[in-house]
């Protein structure tokens, strides 16, 4: 199994697109925290990751709570 791990994206769309472009080499993506800047645009970031079509594990950092991450992800699945 190949894992693509990343951290501290902080809502940077360009950085997330680079990760998405490399996602074809991995079986699993792991975000080790701080996908957002204090949960701004979390739904957009999660939607982008969801479109990859691969499992993504997101560990909440100090910029997002697990509760709000779960809520935003549930909304993103409905889009």
**Domain with 41 in it: what CATH number?**
3.60.21.40
Residue 33's region, left for phi above 0, alpha for psi from -120 to 50, else beta, is left
* Residue 77: predicted pLDDT: 64
Q: Report which of residues 69 and 77 the model is more confident about.
A: 69
> Do 20 and 48 meet the contact criterion of CB atoms below 8 Å apart?
yes
Q: Which residues pair with 57 in a beta bridge?
A: 30
State how many domains the chain has: 1
What is the percent of the chain with per-residue pLDDT over 70, rounded to a whole number? Answer: 95
Residue-number span of the structural domain to which 18 is assigned: 3-78
* Burial per residue of 28-53, b for 16 or more beta-carbon CB atoms within 10 angstroms, e otherwise: ebebeebbbeebeebbbbbbbbeeee
């Amino acid at each position: 199994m190949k894992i693509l791990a990343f951290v501290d994206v902080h809502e940077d769309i360009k950085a997330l697109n680079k990760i998405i472009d490399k996602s074809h080499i991995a079986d699993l993506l792991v975000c080790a925290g701080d996908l957002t800047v204090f949960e701004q645009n979390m739904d957009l970031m999660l939607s982008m990751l969801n479109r990859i079509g691969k499992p993504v594990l997101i560990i909440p950092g100090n910029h997002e709570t697990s509760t709000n991450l779960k809520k935003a992800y549930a909304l993103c699945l409905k889009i």
